[in-house]
Chains A and B, each alone.
Chain A
Amino acid sequence: MDEEQIKRYARQIIMPEIGVKGQRKLLESSVLVVGAGGLGSPAIQYLAGAGVGRIGIADGDNVDISNLQRQTIHAGNLGKNKAESAKEFVEKLNPDVEVEVYPFHLDPENVREIVKGYDVVLDCTDNFVSRFLLNDACVIEGVPLVHAAVLRFEGEIMTIVPSESACYRCVFSHAPPPGSVPTCQEAGVVGATVGTLGTLQAIEAIKLLLGIGEVLTSRMLHIDLLTMDFTELKLKKNPDCPICSGRVKEIIPERYAESCQL
């Protein structure tokens, strides 16, 4: 670790849970952030700041003015691809971090190949198809996944350690029918709410990478920031879960249309 790195990471090196050893570990680690939107922006920001050595950023959308209320890392980059824009932010913040850009949406054909190159994956997506796809790909490839989702003032977060803990599909077997659940576009969201959840995803990733503390495995934390109620739901592994049980070993592209039922 050079002089500049000792200064840059001083606040982390000081902590007994991290130290020089932990910092070196972070610099050698990799995290894939899927979605550089409301959840992804704060997650990318804090992972890059912490010195996670390699960050993959996947997003096929371009920065729109309606995003900036919550996606602050894209300041000044209207019209630019979000993954490219996020890379610019990271490079300015911390040159120690190598960024890999995937300027497209993950799909059943490319998802396994991409997730398997990382130590941890963050699900910062905004739709059910992507959530099921990421969950299934990460469980099949054995890569820990931190899921979060947000609406209005509420959010949920859970961490999936394949073969150890309940997966997203153990909890939700399939997606709700289209139109039955409002999207952020219809229901709205406060920037600070996604910011809170995305930040929690970053800290879960850091704990997973360092092997410290307790992560949200087989637990879902539900947060209502309007009432400030933080509720923990205990989750059980579903013995009949098609993915966790190993019954389904491949991503079957035609299943990831609407319901995602396996």
Chain B
Amino acid sequence: MKTVDLRGEVCPFTFVKTKVALEDAEPGEVLEIIFDHEPAVRDVPRSVQAEGHDVLSVEKIGEDEWRVVIRKRAEE
């Protein structure tokens, strides 16, 4: 699984860079995104779902660190 480390990024770049990573991925590919910006943990899953991708999990992995797993939608 490809990891996209977005620690240090804040909104809207957390979503923009997640989007860039998803567009570069293959249809159906699963990506792991790491954030340390709390609002992104709420906003990014909602935004990627609105674009048709699946959010497989959202978990807190550290004091100020979250891991979001997203599966790219199957077709464009």
Task: Kindly provide the distance from the CB of A211 to the nearest chain B CB, expressed in whole angstroms.
Answer: 14
Q: Nearest A residue to B21 by beta-carbon distance?
A: A20
Complex: how many Å from CA A11 to CA B19?
Answer: 12
**Interface of B: prevailing SS:** helix
Contact indicator A13/B20 (Cβ below 8 Å): yes
Complex: how many Å from CA A11 to CA B12?
Answer: 8
Pick the residue among A6, A16, A19 that contacts B13 (CB under 8 A).
A6
Q: Nearest A residue to B23 by beta-carbon distance?
A: A20
Query: Given the interface contacts A16-B51, A19-B23, A20-B23, does A6 sit within 8 Å of B12 by beta carbon?
Result: no
* Additional 4 contacts, C-beta under 8 A, given A14-B47, A19-B23: A13-B16, A14-B16, A14-B19, A20-B20
Task: Please tell me if B73 contacts chain A, counting CB pairs below 8 Å.
Answer: no
**Interface of A: prevailing SS:** helix
Chain A residues lying within 8 Å of B47, measured Cβ to Cβ, are 14
Complex: how many Å from CA A16 to CA B73?
Answer: 14
Chain A residues lying within 8 Å of B15, measured Cβ to Cβ, are 14
**8 pairs of residues in contact across A and B, judged by CB atoms under 8 Å:** A1-B20, A6-B17, A6-B20, A10-B16, A13-B20, A14-B12, A20-B20, A20-B24
Q: How many A residues touch B, CB cutoff 8 Å?
A: 11
Instruction: State the A residues within 8 Å of B (CB).
Output: 1, 6-7, 10-11, 13-14, 16, 19-21
Contact indicator A10/B51 (Cβ below 8 Å): no
Q: Which of B12, B19, B47 has the most CB of A within 10 A?
A: B19
Complex: how many Å from CA A13 to CA B50?
Answer: 15
Task: Kindly provide the distance from the CB of B8 to the nearest chain A CB, expressed in whole angstroms.
Answer: 12
> B residues 45-76 with Cβ under 8 Å of A?
47, 50-51
Chain B residues lying within 8 Å of A14, measured Cβ to Cβ, are 12, 15-16, 19, 47
Task: Kindly provide the distance from the CB of B60 to the nearest chain A CB, expressed in whole angstroms.
Answer: 25
Chain A residues lying within 8 Å of B17, measured Cβ to Cβ, are 6
Task: Kindly provide the distance from the CB of B1 to the nearest chain A CB, expressed in whole angstroms.
Answer: 21
Contact indicator A6/B23 (Cβ below 8 Å): no
Task: Kindly provide the distance from the CB of B76 to the nearest chain A CB, expressed in whole angstroms.
Answer: 9
Chain B residues lying within 8 Å of A6, measured Cβ to Cβ, are 13, 16-17, 20
Complex: how many Å from CA A14 to CA B14?
Answer: 10
Contact indicator B13/A7 (Cβ below 8 Å): yes
Q: When A and B form their complex, which 8 residue pairs have the shortest distance between CB atoms, in order from nearest? A: A20-B23, A10-B16, A13-B16, A20-B20, A10-B12, A14-B12, A16-B51, A14-B16
> B residues 26-55 with Cβ under 8 Å of A?
47, 50-51
Chain A residues lying within 8 Å of B51, measured Cβ to Cβ, are 16
Complex: how many Å from CA A7 to CA B14?
Answer: 11
Chain B residues lying within 8 Å of A13, measured Cβ to Cβ, are 16, 19-20
Chain A residues lying within 8 Å of B24, measured Cβ to Cβ, are 20
Complex: how many Å from CA A14 to CA B51?
Answer: 10
Q: Nearest B residue to A12 by beta-carbon distance?
A: B16
